[in-house]
Amino acid sequence: MSKYGMVWGGDMRSNILTIVTSVLVMLLLAACVAEGDLKLAYNRTPVDLGDDWTIASPESQNIDIAAIEFAYERFFSKDEYRNAISLLIIRNNFLVAEGYARDMGDRTRYEAVQSISKSISALLTGIAIDEALITSLDLTINDIYPDKLMRHVDKQNISLRHLLTMSSGIEFDNDNFHVELVNKGSTDTIDYILNKPFYNSPGVEFYYRDADPHLLSYALQRLSGQSLAAYARTRLFQPLNISNYDWIKDSNNINYGAYGVYLTPRDLAKIGQLMLQNGQWNSVQVVSASWINDSVTKQIENSSATTANYDYGFYWWLIPELNAFTAWGHGGNFVTVMPDKQLVVVLTSFPNSGNNVGTHLDEFLPVLRRLYNGAN
């Protein structure tokens, strides 16, 4: 069960009540966090739960203890990462450090991972390619769901590649996306998105938002004949032995491709380790290595001022200075992979209404940089 995350779905009255309640909870949490009252005492020692993670000491995996201390001192500080929940460090496929700032129960409690869901949607796209459900990323949404494009002929040339690079050209700001879809009740959500105007022609300009992954989710649903959550269950989550999760959906029973996934911190780390191992888990090739490589290769020019230091692949952010890549969710949720150092670093945080409480990648980068340099 989730403790901090917002669960979307249901009728309008339920959603409004959920939103109001969540906002109040977040305001209370933010007020308490500002005083540092919610953070537990420093503790970074992993516990053997008999799950898929093998515990090892940082020393045994050649990580400078000073780098570990630097990371966790900042994590437990009352002045930084104020809404943080967990910080996990994996080296050479060993869990070498694990800390929880709010509640030790968060070790096994799933939470909303925000836009890390996009990166999971990208993984599922690669699996669909492996299964020949997708023959080319140049397939258009008109090729996949032509019935939805009859009223939107101007959108017929939007391709899967455009959706994966946030360049469909559809103008639908994230500030309005979820509220509008929820408030439309039983309205055809795909039709509603396609009815939005263009801000540019498809493929021309990167514009980060949730509309494109939602159109991708529906494309995968039509191609696979099942919801994105159902497809994920058998193709991704079961192979990784992930059973404690959720994935919310809109009023048309379409899983949100941009957000809505709930996972535990240790299961998030599995996603990172899968990426580090080029799509392989326990000797099973879950998704092709070629798709992993494509996903973490720069695919489009990022012109956003707030993320200018990072390149963009297929729903994965790239950190050139560390030769690393990360899944990045709102408020301070990251699954960062550093292949050169065989490192996976997971940070989770409870949701917030803005980055005034959350953690931007720029703010997390000093920790990642110190761990990178401390891994010998």
pLDDT string in tens for the chain (376-residue length): 455 544 333 333 334 433 443 444 455 554 444 444 568 888 999 999 999 999 999 999 999 999 999 999 999 998 889 899 999 999 999 999 999 999 999 999 999 999 999 999 999 999 999 999 999 999 999 999 999 999 999 999 999 999 999 999 999 998 889 888 888 766 899 999 999 999 999 999 999 999 999 999 999 999 999 999 999 999 999 999 999 999 999 999 999 999 999 999 999 999 999 999 999 999 999 999 999 999 999 999 998 888 988 999 999 999 999 999 999 999 999 999 999 999 999 999 987 655 455 899 999 999 999 999 999 9
Tell me, what amino acid is at 171?
E
288 plus 368 within the same structural domain? yes
Contacts of 35 (CB under 8 A, 6+ apart): 78
> Quick check: 319 and 310 in contact, CB under 8 A?
yes
**pLDDT for 82:** 87
277 plus 307 within the same structural domain? yes
Does 232 fall in a domain?
no
CA quadruple 31, 37, 42, 47: dihedral positive or negative?
negative
Does 88 fall in a domain?
yes
pLDDT digits (tens, 9 = 90+) for 95-120: 999 999 999 999 999 999 999 999 99
176 plus 36 within the same structural domain? no
Strand partners, 333: 329
What's the Rg (C-alpha) of the chain? 20
Tell me, what amino acid is at 116?
I
Write the DSSP symbol of residue 63.
B
128 plus 106 within the same structural domain? no
> Quick check: 38 and 4 in contact, CB under 8 A?
no
**pLDDT for 184:** 72
**pLDDT for 357:** 57
Domain that holds residue 314: 12-116+245-374
140 plus 109 within the same structural domain? no
> Quick check: 81 and 365 in contact, CB under 8 A?
no
Contacts of 368 (CB under 8 A, 6+ apart): 319, 322, 324, 336, 338, 345
Strand partners, 198: 170
111 plus 136 within the same structural domain? no
Domain boundary among 168, 186, 221: 221
Strand intervals (E) in the chain: 54-55, 84-91, 94-100, 111-112, 246-247, 261-263, 280-281, 284-285, 311-312, 317-319, 324-329, 333-338, 343-349
Q: Is the pTM of this model over 0.85?
A: yes
Domain total of the chain: 2
Does 230 fall in a domain?
no
Domain boundary among 164, 188, 221: 221
* CA–CA separation, 185 and 57 (whole Å): 51
Contacts of 175 (CB under 8 A, 6+ apart): none
Nearest to 315 by CA among 136, 167, 196, 127: 167
